[in-house]
Chains A and B, each alone.
Chain A
């Protein structure tokens, strides 16, 4: 049993210490918004925030989250920056199949939390670990710029 603070609530989960956060969140806490894409920190579909920083939950064991705040896509509507990012995503109609988008939004929100006005190069650096097979990259870029403008 480990206690994880997920989206502001402590949860007791029957997870072995080495279970990646991704599976504790998806299969045990049954929060399915965080996605599995590669399992080896190559695609970003599993991106969540650990104490506000974007991490790849598929390679981070639950033991690393004990005593910290874990935030998932399900909580972004209550996050000040997350809300703006989601609104920009909607405005620009970014999504296609949608499977990568939780991870994209989590990565973009963490980027904007650290960098109020990211340049294209900043976006490349922060977002290139998040694959979108549907190629929504131009709209993700536009949405991040739009969100930055709203936040300014």
Chain B
């Protein structure tokens, strides 16, 4: 296990600040732990040496009523971090689990991601990146409570035990609530020791979600549910073509609707404000706007794909190059040539985007479900002319994120701020589902063109692949770090670093980054969402060309990659790979590493009257330590459903500059009747921790299309499958 080997920490070389204040009857003990060394963003490293931590910076509060409030530096969007991070603190604190409460932390530098240097929930990184920080916060607080108890009881701290929210000395007990105030005044110990993993009582145990009850009884508050007295709701008319501008507008019909309170122009369009959503929406629909559609009025995704195809035949920028693939392919016994395509995809989280903003003279309050508080705060500060610390971001539950709510451009937060600035008062800006489907920040469309040479024994000996598509990182704060020599690492991840290529002496991977004005963004599993499909399909093609079993073939290629193998073998074994399939059922397999985790899936499918039905998916993961095995399983079930919808039927297309889909009837996602049985198996692993939110997505498409090939002999090379089998 990577993290648990570092059992003690030297607090003297770090700066802990603890502050005490009574908030709502409870004492606040604030601990901040300086930034970790690794940073994604350049120029942020200086902060590591910064001894003075800014306020607010608490990671937990102990109330005199014994409640332990854990503050989350990350956002709860379904992934169960509301439970996992408290588990880490509670473990080291020996807390009473029934006394745990949870809050989202405010936006503040202290809550910056330990690896990325800014406050963000993404990259399937929360658990591994917080594994030390939250355990340390728990351990440190425990040490202070023990000191306080020792002083109070006049005994040596070394004789004291902690258990279930109490410090115990013989038959005497003091609750954490009783000790909280005294603990806040204690000297910070120079070292605290983290528990030996064998002593863990909470970590590694399936633990029920702490946000379950309120999400079951309807009381959980999402951004859509924010209601501030006097607030108005705004719905915005945006250009039907990306980049279009308002030439002029006529709001007379909108203003006649009872309940419409205001109409304001903002950089993204025209906002109608009303007492409630329904009236605002009617007002928005009654606007007459003359748009200057700009240069994208002819945008056509079918044409773009043709252009991508041509580009793929030209020389691109090298993303990986070893040996001389062109001449090696000339010597191959067999060659495979294939083109793969994947479409633009909307995230379409269940909760349509929204953000409530109230701008005051020297402060601004923002209520929203966001994955990226830091950049949102900066954006609001810029628009309002306030200082970032004057902007309070109140993070509420996210009704799904999938990447859409982590936008470096802070699009929906900025727009809502513009609306509130133009109109005054408190304004909740709400997107309709149509606004969401048409409003962009899509997973980019990609085209891959590959040429693989197989040796006489069927093993790949040369590999060439060109990838064409938009860059997600271009123009974001991540650009300097993520784009090297013109190659966006997220466009080629999963290919350029593929374990399959490591064993191939001659290979060339090239990238063509297309400049287009379609707003793009990371979509659950980012580049792996297309590269996993392409690589696992190509390897399957190679196995069939070599007339070998796809599992056996992969095992040979991955023989030096034990974590891939562990996941692959476990999934195959649990799926009964060596048993014959039932009549009419095809079986396919895929394995892919992303975000530090290794996931293999076996899918069983049938095809009837041109329609694919996925009956069963057996999934195995090696993510290192599984902190909460049940929520880990839930994340893989979730990833399979999310990825399967895109595999079968989701796509965003453009014609005459406009998005052709609008709502769930034509931007189709997975439904109950399409959900296969899912079995998730966890590789018992002491390897480095990886993520679990995203890595379940990449293997599902190829597991399904490989199964279709096994059953029908038809190779699906373009997603979604749609009616290709009809």
A interface residues (Cβ-Cβ under 8 A, vs B): 16, 19-20, 23, 26-28, 30-40, 42-43, 45, 72-74, 76-77, 86, 89-90, 93-102, 105, 123-125, 127-141
Q: How far is the CA of A131 from the CA of B630 in the complex (A)?
A: 22
Write the B63-99 contact mask toward A (1 if CB under 8 angstroms, else 0).
0000000000000111110000000000000000000
**CB–CB A132/B350 < 8 A:** yes
B634 at the interface (CB under 8 A from A): yes
Which residues of the other chain, A, contact B352 by a CB distance below 8 angstroms?
A: 36-37
Residues of chain B from 232 to 257 with CB closer than 8 A to chain A in the complex? 233
Q: List 28 A-B contacts (CB under 8 A).
A: A27-B233, A27-B275, A27-B276, A33-B219, A35-B399, A36-B224, A37-B351, A37-B433, A40-B664, A74-B219, A90-B212, A95-B211, A96-B79, A97-B78, A98-B78, A102-B218, A123-B672, A124-B673, A129-B671, A134-B78, A134-B350, A134-B641, A134-B642, A135-B642, A136-B637, A137-B675, A138-B678, A140-B672
Say whether, besides A45-B350, A97-B349, A99-B351, A27 and B278 are in contact (CB < 8 Å).
yes
Which residues of the other chain, A, contact B638 by a CB distance below 8 angstroms?
A: 96, 134-136
B interface residues (Cβ-Cβ under 8 A, vs A): 76-80, 208-209, 211-222, 224-225, 227, 233, 258, 275-278, 348-352, 397-402, 432-433, 630-631, 634, 637-642, 663-665, 669-673, 675, 677-678
Nearest 4 pairs between A and B by C-beta? A33-B218, A135-B641, A99-B399, A98-B215
**CB–CB A90/B216 < 8 A:** yes
Q: How far is the CA of A146 from the CA of B671 in the complex (A)?
A: 21
B696 to chain A, nearest CB (A): 10
**CB–CB B215/A93 < 8 A:** no
Which residues of the other chain, A, contact B79 by a CB distance below 8 angstroms?
A: 96
**CB–CB A139/B637 < 8 A:** yes
Which residues of the other chain, A, contact B215 by a CB distance below 8 angstroms?
A: 95, 98, 101
Q: How far is the CA of A40 from the CA of B664 in the complex (A)?
A: 9
When C-beta atoms are compared, the residue in chain B nearest to A77 turns out to be B217
**CB–CB B350/A86 < 8 A:** no
**CB–CB B672/A33 < 8 A:** no
**CB–CB A37/B350 < 8 A:** yes
Which residues of the other chain, A, contact B212 by a CB distance below 8 angstroms?
A: 89-90, 93, 95
Q: How far is the CA of A83 from the CA of B671 in the complex (A)?
A: 25
Which residues of the other chain, A, contact B639 by a CB distance below 8 angstroms?
A: 135
When C-beta atoms are compared, the residue in chain B nearest to A23 turns out to be B278
Which residues of the other chain, B, contact A139 by a CB distance below 8 angstroms?
A: 634, 637
A133 to chain B, nearest CB (A): 4
Q: How far is the CA of A58 from the CA of B594 in the complex (A)?
A: 39
A96 to chain B, nearest CB (A): 3
Interface centre among A23, A28, A94, A98 (most CB of B within 10 A): A98
Q: How far is the CA of A72 from the CA of B219 in the complex (A)?
A: 12
Q: How far is the CA of A98 from the CA of B82 in the complex (A)?
A: 12
Which residues of the other chain, A, contact B209 by a CB distance below 8 angstroms?
A: 93, 95
Which residues of the other chain, B, contact A27 by a CB distance below 8 angstroms?
A: 233, 275-278
**CB–CB B642/A105 < 8 A:** no
**CB–CB A137/B672 < 8 A:** yes
Say whether, besides A98-B78, A99-B350, A93 and B276 are in contact (CB < 8 Å).
no
When C-beta atoms are compared, the residue in chain A nearest to B281 turns out to be A39
**CB–CB B216/A135 < 8 A:** no
Say whether, besides A27-B277, A134-B350, A96 and B634 are in contact (CB < 8 Å).
yes
Q: How far is the CA of A100 from the CA of B219 in the complex (A)?
A: 13
Which residues of the other chain, B, contact A19 by a CB distance below 8 angstroms?
A: 278
Q: How far is the CA of A31 from the CA of B188 in the complex (A)?
A: 47
Which residues of the other chain, B, contact A134 by a CB distance below 8 angstroms?
A: 78, 350, 400, 638, 641-642
B113 to chain A, nearest CB (A): 21
A54 to chain B, nearest CB (A): 14
Which residues of the other chain, B, contact A98 by a CB distance below 8 angstroms?
A: 78, 211, 214-215, 220, 222, 397, 399
* Partner pick for A32 among B211, B225, B401, CB 8 A cutoff: B225
**CB–CB B350/A100 < 8 A:** yes
Interface centre among B215, B220, B224, B634 (most CB of A within 10 A): B215
Q: How far is the CA of A48 from the CA of B614 in the complex (A)?
A: 31
**CB–CB B641/A96 < 8 A:** no
* Partner pick for A130 among B277, B641, B672, CB 8 A cutoff: B672
Say whether, besides A36-B277, A43-B350, A86 and B216 are in contact (CB < 8 Å).
yes
When C-beta atoms are compared, the residue in chain B nearest to A74 turns out to be B218
Which residues of the other chain, B, contact A135 by a CB distance below 8 angstroms?
A: 637-642, 670, 675
Q: How far is the CA of A99 from the CA of B220 in the complex (A)?
A: 9
**CB–CB B218/A97 < 8 A:** no
**CB–CB A124/B432 < 8 A:** no
When C-beta atoms are compared, the residue in chain B nearest to A97 turns out to be B78
**CB–CB A97/B397 < 8 A:** yes
With A98-B399, A99-B400 given, name 16 new contacts (CB 8 A): A19-B278, A27-B278, A35-B222, A37-B351, A40-B665, A42-B664, A43-B664, A86-B217, A99-B351, A128-B671, A131-B671, A133-B350, A134-B642, A135-B675, A136-B634, A137-B675
Say whether, besides A96-B79, A135-B638, A76 and B217 are in contact (CB < 8 Å).
yes
**CB–CB A30/B675 < 8 A:** no
**CB–CB B224/A32 < 8 A:** yes
